């Protein structure tokens, strides 16, 4: 895998994940209490033997830069790297990235370095575990110019994906974005027997969805981008490559979730708390890497915790109840607080005694969740202060009150980073 270069697309402004992306780029959004979204594709690369990785980004990238710099360091004998290629003015152009393909085009000089035969294009906002060495094996076996990872799906969910049509040899011959009707799906359906013959039980699934994961022969990618001005991989470059090159599919049947919206982010985190979670974090053969922190163990003083993930350095008060929730780093939860179905990202720092005294004197809640609070169905970003007795519950048809410290995003209550909720406040 040493001749494979990975490029992770950091995405645009991340408006669908607002307000979580108000102060950070989408790949830097915290996940599962202690990770960030970007840790998933990087960990998949490292576990697959790929250690030359570029990350393309341009929006709110400071926290992402810090995370990458603090986390992914390689010894000088290994030759590996994880480097961020932010939008910049160069002799070739001064414009910002105009899309995923344009971002790669503006960095072709890094792709054209010696020793690179294949380029793997990944997204920075997906949750899955994949061995890319298997994808490379498929690519070589089929003598492909381009290989795309695909997921067999049912017709009930196909409307959310781009669906591919194959010929009898498995070569991609057509692509339909988000088909709505059975008639449209019939045009791009795949014989379930073809899927079964490749070791994946079709189980009634006759459509192959794009996962947004592409493996290119390096020279093919350079040629496609150099001879076009297309901006988007999925909508422009990939369809063009189908008409001019041998494009094959690599079948995948594990857990895969695109975390591009607040509801999908919220549900993906809550799914991780289940005893039979569809994505297992504790895989010693393919771990998820992240920033190593020197934090104490979480302390629970007589609390009741069920089906939840607790990150390092937390303090949970006596009588607190936590169910089906993700509790992030350094999170402080007061006595008799009730937290259910919540994603709490924790804090970036511990408050000193001087900080606490100053807050008390100013009548400001401390960082964390104070005594007697009720939190249900809520996302709480980092460093939020919630005063004693506050009650915040996501309910159907909830509207956002004027001047509210909370944001209602696609039906989910979100408390933005560094927010303050007064004592006794109710939503």
- 133-187 tens-digit pLDDT: 999 999 999 999 999 999 999 999 999 999 999 998 889 999 898 999 999 999 9
Q: What distances in angstroms separate CA 394 from CA 117, 121, 204, one per listed residue?
A: 50, 37, 36
Q: How confident is the model at residue 421 (pLDDT cuts 50, 70, 90)?
A: very high
Please tell me the predicted confidence (pLDDT) of residue 63. Answer: 83
pLDDT in tens, 46-91: 999 999 999 988 776 788 888 999 999 888 888 899 998 876 545 5
Please tell me the predicted confidence (pLDDT) of residue 240. Answer: 84
pLDDT in tens, 274-316: 999 999 999 999 999 999 999 999 999 999 999 999 999 999 9
For the chain, which domains are there? Answer: 4-271 (3.90.550.10), 299-421 (2.160.10.10)
Q: How confident is the model at residue 96 (pLDDT cuts 50, 70, 90)?
A: low
Please tell me the predicted confidence (pLDDT) of residue 12. Answer: 66
Residues 66 and 55 sit within 8 Å (Cβ to Cβ)? no
pLDDT, the chain, mean: 92
Query: What distance, in Å, lies between the first and last C-alpha atoms of the chain?
Result: 52
Please tell me the predicted confidence (pLDDT) of residue 253. Answer: 95
Collapsed DSSP state (helix, strand, coil) of residue 301: coil
The b-or-e profile of 288-320 (16+ CB within 10 A means b, else e) is bebbeeeeeebebeebebeebbbbbbbbbbebb
Structure tokens at 191: 């014989």
DSSP conformational letter for 261: S
For residue 317, how far is the Cα from the chain centroid? 31
Alpha helices in 171-217 (DSSP H): 182-187, 192-196
pLDDT in tens, 221-276: 999 998 888 878 877 888 888 889 999 999 999 999 999 899 999 999 999 999 99
Q: What distances in angstroms separate CA 228 from CA 123, 231, 266, one per listed residue?
A: 22, 9, 38
Q: How confident is the model at residue 97 (pLDDT cuts 50, 70, 90)?
A: low
Share of the chain above pLDDT 90, in %: 77
Please tell me the predicted confidence (pLDDT) of residue 92. Answer: 56
Please tell me the predicted confidence (pLDDT) of residue 410. Answer: 92
Please tell me the predicted confidence (pLDDT) of residue 88. Answer: 54
Give the residue, 59 or 411, on which the prediction is more confident: 411
Region 386-410 average pLDDT: 92
Structure tokens at 347: 């804090």
pLDDT in tens, 312-345: 999 999 999 999 999 999 999 999 999 999 999 9
Q: How confident is the model at residue 37 (pLDDT cuts 50, 70, 90)?
A: very high
pLDDT > 60? residue 94: no
Region 89-101 average pLDDT: 62
Q: How confident is the model at residue 93 (pLDDT cuts 50, 70, 90)?
A: low
pLDDT > 90? residue 100: no
Region 407-424 average pLDDT: 95
Q: Is the previous residue joined to 203 through a cis bond, with omega within 30 degrees of 0?
A: no
The b-or-e profile of 53-91 (16+ CB within 10 A means b, else e) is bbbbbbbbbebbeebbeebbeeeeeeebebebbbbeeee
């Amino acid at each position: 895998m040493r001749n494979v270069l990975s490029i992770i697309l950091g995405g645009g402004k991340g408006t669908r994940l607002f307000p979580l992306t108000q102060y950070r780029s989408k790949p830097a959004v915290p996940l599962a209490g202690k990770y960030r979204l970007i840790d998933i594709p990087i960990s998949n690369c490292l576990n697959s033997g790929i250690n030359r990785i570029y990350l393309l980004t341009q929006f709110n990238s400071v926290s992402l830069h810090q995370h990458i710099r603090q986390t992914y360091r390689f010894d000088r004998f290994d030759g590996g790297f994880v480097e961020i290629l932010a939008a910049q003015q160069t002799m070739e152009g001064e414009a910002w990235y105009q899309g995923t393909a344009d971002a790669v085009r503006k960095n072709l000089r890094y792709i054209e370095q010696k020793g690179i035969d294949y380029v793997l294009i990944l997204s920075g906002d997906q949750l899955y575990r994949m061995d890319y060495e298997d994808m490379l094996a498929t690519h070589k076996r089929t003598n492909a110019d381009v290989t795309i990872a695909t997921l067999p799906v049912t017709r009930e969910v196909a409307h959310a994906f781009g669906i591919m049509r194959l010929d009898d040899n498995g070569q991609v011959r057509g692509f339909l974005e988000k088909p709505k009707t059975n008639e449209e799906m019939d045009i791009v359906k795949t014989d379930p027997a073809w899927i079964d013959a490749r070791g994946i039980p079709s189980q009634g699934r006759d459509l192959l969805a794009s996962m947004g994961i592409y493996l290119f022969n390096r020279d093919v990618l350079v040629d496609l981008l150099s001879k076009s001005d297309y901006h988007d991989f999925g909508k422009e470059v990939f369809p063009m490559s189908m008409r001019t090159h041998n494009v094959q599919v690599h079948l995948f049947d594990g857990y895969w979730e695109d975390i591009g919206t607040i509801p999908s982010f919220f549900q993906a985190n809550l799914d991780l708390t289940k005893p039979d979670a569809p994505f297992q974090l504790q895989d010693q053969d393919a771990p998820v890497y992240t920033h190593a922190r020197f934090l104490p163990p979480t302390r629970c003083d007589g609390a009741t915790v069920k089906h939840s993930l607790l990150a390092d350095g937390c303090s949970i008060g006596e009588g607190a109840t936590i169910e089906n929730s993700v509790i992030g780093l350094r999170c402080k939860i007061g006595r008799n607080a009730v937290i259910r179905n919540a994603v709490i990202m924790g804090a970036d720092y511990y408050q000193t005694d001087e900080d606490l005294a100053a807050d008390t004197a100013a009548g400001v809640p401390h960082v964390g969740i104070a005594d007697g609070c009720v939190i249900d169905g809520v996302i709480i970003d980092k460093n939020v202060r919630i005063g004693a007795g506050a009650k915040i519950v996501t309910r159907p048809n909830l509207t956002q009150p004027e001047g509210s410290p909370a944001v209602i995003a696609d039906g989910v209550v979100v408390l933005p980073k560094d927010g303050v909720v007064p004592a006794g406040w109710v939503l």
